[in-house]
Structures are given as C-alpha cells and as structure tokens.
Chain A
Amino acid sequence: MNPTMLITQKERSALLQNQRGLAWLLAYAGILSAFALLLISNQELSLLDNAQVVYMMAGTVTAAGALIAVIIGADAYAGERERGTLVPLLTGPISTSELLMGKSLGLASAWGIMYLLSLPYLWSVGASGQNLGQAIIYLGLFGTPVVLGFGYLAMALSARSGSVMSSLLSSLIVLLFSTSPLLIGPGLRNSAIGKALDAVNPFSGALNTYDAVIIDSDPFNAQLGRLALVVIWLGLMFVFARISARRPAFR
C-alpha cells in the first residue's frame, strides 16, 4: 500500500475506529439534533418556511464541518510533534507531499461522513418543502471547498507553529470571523464594509448561495461567482498548507 493511503487509513481509524474518535461524531450529531428539536419545540421557529429551515440547517452543517476540520487540521502536524511521532514520519519513506495528501484524505473522509450524516437531518426538516435536492447538492458543492479550506489553513498553521494550541486558536479566530454573517444582522451586512467582507469571505459565499438556491430558487449560473470564490479559497489554503508542510516545525 502506498504511503499516502497508509496515512489516510491511520487518520481514518483515529477518527472512526476508536472511542475518542467516535465522540466527535456524537458531538456533531448532537448539534444537528439540538437544532432540529429546537424547531419543533419553539412555536415561532416551527412556523418558518421549510426552505428557510433547510437553509439554516445547511449553514449549521457547514459551520460545524469547518469547526471540526480546524480541529483535525490543527492536530495534523503539531499533534504528531507533541506525541513524538513527527520526526519518525519525516524520516520514514514518505515525502512531505505524500504526508500532506494522506492527512488531506483523512480530513476529506471526516467531512464525507459529516455530510452523509447531515442528509437525514436535511430530509427530516425539509422533505415537504422546496429545493431539498438542490440543498443537498449545493451543500456538497460549496460546503466541501469551504470546510476543506479551513482544514488546510489549520494544517498550515499546525506545521508552522508546531503547537496544537497555537494553531487551533489562530484557526478558530479566522473561522469565527468568517462565520460572523451567521451572528450579525442583515443591516450590518448591507453596509459598504459588510458587502466588501461578504465578497471575499468563503463562508458568506456558501451561505449566500444556499439562500439564493434554496429560498429564492436561483439557477446555477447565478452562483458561478461565489463558486469561484470558494474554489479560490480552497486553492490558496492548499498552497499555503503545501508550502508550510515542506518544512514543518519539529523541534
């Protein structure tokens, strides 16, 4: 088996085949369940259109996915260093590119599982409404580059700093800033600075796409600009991770 697949298998087993690994999946399911239960227990929320609910669920899945990607990414190099396994990895028969690809595939596997786990939730809140199929497709199309991009950002910071805490904190601050559209109201987002931030924020790009497609039923060609934004975000973060992973901090 080639080294990349070995690393991928190791990452996957750490995430899925031991107790601590499954705990993150339980926490993720807990977040989605809490939101779904809130919908049926709160009268005002239960009156929201199905499309609005599906949009909110897709945004929550993307945010939770990005958060977990940041945690996984922050552990990728700094965690190996703190466990004393980074030097053996770097001196073994595996190139830095293969190591990065293995870590990337492990991250992608985690997101794949989160995405699949979100499908029954999306179905349960949106089956009787509009655009559920589009929601599922666009969550994959836009959520994937956003989530993986944050994972690569955290990996890059992890490789540079050599500290899980430091890379996690830095990545979380960037993530928090990016998810601010979820927290601030439409009034602030409509200001000149709000619109400028929205134009370069990949998370906003994904959210605005979900809004346009799920609620307003806009066509695919109207989303091309935002698709370019999230793909550029993924590309830049991958390049950042690749450059950083060539010389990870191992002391």
Chain B
Amino acid sequence: MKIVLFSDIHANLPAFEKALELIDGETPDMVFCLGDLVGYHIWPNEIISHIRRRGIATIGGNHDAKVKGLTGAQLAEPGKNYAYKIVTDENKEYLATLPAHIHLEFQINGSPLQMLLVHGSPKSNDEYLLQDKSEADFLAVFENANADILCFGHSHKPYYRVLDTGKEPRRFKHAINTGSIGKPKDGNPQGGFVVLTINHNDSKDTKEFINVNFVRFNYDIEKAAVAIENSPLPNDLADMLRKAY
C-alpha cells in the first residue's frame, strides 16, 4: 500500500503543480493532504480548485481554519492578510468545513495498526511536533491519540522518527512530518512530500514494515518569489521562499 502525504502548500501554485505531476508519477494507492492550502501567497483559489477537482481527502490546517472567521476589517489590513482576502466565499466555506483529523485503522499481520493524520498535533492544528521533542513526551502523544503511525505537517521541516515503546504487539511508533510543498523552512528551498509504503509481509512488528521516502523537487522558485514581490504581500515572504526559512 503506497500512500502519498503532503501539506503546507500555502497558495504556492508553481510548487503545487510540480508536486502534482510528481505525485501522479508515483502511482500511489491513496493520497491525503494534511492542510494549510492557503496563506502567504497569491494562488489560494487555484490550489483549492486542484484539490477539490481531484477529490483529495484533506484535513484543515490552522490557516485554513481561520479564514472564514476573519472580519472585513482584518481582511482589509495591509500585509499578510491579503492572502486570505482573495479567497472566494465558496472556498472559505470549503476551508471551514474541512475535517481536523483522519484516522485509518489497518489490520496488518493479524492485529490493528492505527494511523492518524493531523495538521499540527492531535491536540491542536497550531501545535508543533518538532524533531527534538523528548522521547517520553512524544510517546505520550501517541498514547493519548491511540496512534501507531502519526503523520503531521505544520512546522515545514520534514523528518521521520521511530520511537520504541518496548511493548508488543505494536512496539514501534512512527512519527512522520510531511514537510511542506510550498514553503519549506529546513534550509532547502525545494518543495517536499512523503511517500509512505506499508508492507504486509513481515511476520512481526519490525521497524521496517513501513517505509518512508521523502521526495524533494525543484520548481520555479523565482516565479513564486517574484509573484509575491509584485503583490501586496510583504516582500520578506519572497526571501523566505528563496532561502527556505
């Protein structure tokens, strides 16, 4: 079972179009989007339109969740809010109705395997689960959320971490940060997404029964950066795309 997971497109159309091309090339069995379609860039409606047209199962990110609630005065403020102002009413409604979590329960090698998809953390779409989180704290997150595989975005810094509970039958917990399609912050300005493969054949729960592959891809960063500079959005957002911070 090959599952593509991506998130944090942040209205960056050149990055997203390139990503879709590469995702199609992966011929995945399922595709999920972990939110933050909008914010920071000028193409929110185009991103939403691609996602809706393809019927991609999508959860809401913190940016998506707040758009509909912004007041006219807030939307009129100069600066970053321009990115929300241009979202159409119909798309605001779509963003406001996105689910917060998607939970998949597999039956692998005779026992349940719980996979949870969230934007930030199981508790909040605005909480960061960073790579250096303490092992005990991270294991508590898995325990509270009843998850064996936890996939999330929000920090724009991709990583895969395996945690060992020491307890069978699902001894290992898998934390996967999907990175960001359109606004990476890990110093590498390429866009990124995850290809997760679940293998059924392993007779016991080894670390290797899932495989996590981080795809990074080039896209027309200059086009995306210049589009910001030519818009009412703050120019430092263009610099962030060029340098990935």
* A and B part of one assembly: no
Q: Which residues of A contact B (CB under 8 A)?
A: none
